[in-house]
């Protein structure tokens, strides 16, 4: 299947694993594919950057939306932002929110991550296109409507449906 991907799309798939590894995730989720796409130099990456989704902003939002329950901690007098700031001062950016997985070795796709690839290929199949590019991959991410991605985009003020239409767009018809 990957032989039908353009270089940029293949690059994005490979770098999804790097994004997952950097965030110490157990599996590659749609959000990791999205992070990789924000760095893609072509049309898909540009669409994301134009929508205000540059890599660092998105990554920051991913890290901050992590499982630590800020409201529950605040109820007992702990300011998570302060704890985070102190931890990052000592141990570097993202130190508090990173997962436990050690940063080496192959990381498999989560079911949702695999579903991204399925949707991408499905779109391309419907249109009888030969090559699968990064824009199609972005469409795949946005079609799966993974709850984490949906929540993040809403948080960052991005209209998912509009973005999805644009991603399906340019090569269109």
Query: Interaction with another protein in 132-171: which residues (CB under 8 A)?
Result: none
Under rule CB under 8 A, residue 121 binds another protein: no
| Contact pick of 3, 100, 128, 147 for another protein (by CB under 8 A) | 100
Binding residues for another protein, total number by CB under 8 A: 23
Q: Which residues of 111-126 are buried (b: 16+ CB within 10 A; e: fewer)?
A: ebbebbbebbbebbee
From the list 146, 147, 148, 143, the residue with the least C-alpha distance to 163 is 143
Under rule CB under 8 A, residue 103 binds another protein: no
First to last CA, the chain: 23
Which DSSP string do the residues of 138-153 spell out, in sequence order? HHHHHHHT-HHHHHHH
We find the least distance from the C-beta atom of residue 70 to another protein, in angstroms, to be: 5
| Segment near another protein (CB under 8 A); pick from 40-48, 62-70, 111-119, 131-139 | 62-70
Are 51 and 158 within 8 A, CB to CB? yes
Nearer to another protein, 72 or 118 (CB): 72
Cβ-count burial of 45 within 10 angstroms (0-12 exposed, 13-18 middle, 19+ buried)? buried
Nearer to another protein, 54 or 88 (CB): 88
Under rule CB under 8 A, residue 96 binds another protein: yes
Under rule CB under 8 A, residue 67 binds another protein: yes
Three-state DSSP class for 27? coil
| Contact pick of 76, 105, 126, 130 for another protein (by CB under 8 A) | 76
Binding residues for another protein, rule: CB under 8 A, are 67-80, 83, 87, 90-91, 95-97, 100, 102
């Amino acid at each position: 299947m990957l032989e039908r991907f353009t270089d940029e799309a293949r690059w994005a798939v490979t770098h999804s694993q790097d994004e997952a590894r950097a965030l110490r995730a157990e599996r590659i989720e749609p959000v990791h594919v999205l992070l990789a796409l924000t760095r893609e130099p072509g049309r898909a990456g540009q669409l994301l950057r134009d929508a205000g989704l540059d890599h660092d902003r998105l990554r920051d939002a991913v890290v901050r939306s992590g499982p630590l329950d800020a409201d529950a901690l605040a109820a007992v007098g702990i300011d998570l932002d302060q704890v985070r700031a102190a931890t990052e001062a000592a141990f570097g950016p993202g130190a508090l929110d990173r997962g436990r997985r050690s940063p080496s070795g192959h990381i498999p796709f989560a079911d949702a991550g695999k579903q991204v690839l399925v949707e991408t290929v499905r779109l391309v199949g419907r249109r009888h296109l030969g090559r699968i590019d990064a824009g199609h991959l972005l469409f795949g991410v946005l079609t799966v409507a993974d709850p984490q991605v949906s929540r993040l985009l809403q948080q960052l003020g991005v209209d998912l449906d509009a973005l999805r239409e644009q991603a399906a767009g340019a090569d269109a018809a």
